[in-house]
Amino acid sequence: MDTLQDTDLLARRVETLLRADTFSATLGIRLHAVRPGHSVVSIAVTPEAMNCHGSAHGGAVWTLADLAFGSAGYYDGPILTTESTLTFLRATPGGSRLFARATQISRRGKSGVFHIVMGADLDDAEGIFAIGQFGGRWAGLPQMEPAPYSPFDPARYEDKP
């Protein structure tokens, strides 16, 4: 399997991956950045993604972290989660946009480890809501066909939060 080095091709393949996963596609997850070993994705914390306390549901937060991890590792094809930890530092308020950044910190053979940071503002410690670590194994499965459009086209999101 070829390693994806062309970031546009990688972005279009990850976009297809995000839309093909029927569970996560319903959450409207948006890809903001991707390159080998790194990604940033986000979700609008709409009523459908909230718990009964008015904040982001833990399952939606974990799903976003998992997809950040999968997107960052997709440069070598599908990577399957083998372990994960996610520490919730504070609730993510409803009506906000939650970002997740995944950064690869280690790879040995087909196994990789990624650091996850989540929040409203990933560059401000006060804006961080959760941190974690995901480990996975590249499965050698076929890669998705690239989407026919760039996921970074702002026109795709004009009417969406």
Tell me: the pLDDT tens digits for 57-96?
A: 999 999 999 999 999 999 999 999 999 999 999 999 999 9
Per CATH, the number for 7-149 is: 3.10.129.10
Average pLDDT over residues 39-52: 94
Q: Is residue 80 within 8 Å of residue 137, measured between CB atoms?
A: yes
Which amino acid does the sequence have at 13?
Answer: R
Closest CA to 73 of 149, 21, 148, 143: 143
Closest CA to 17 of 67, 56, 83: 67
- The reported pTM is 0.89
Joined tokens for residue 86: 């996610």
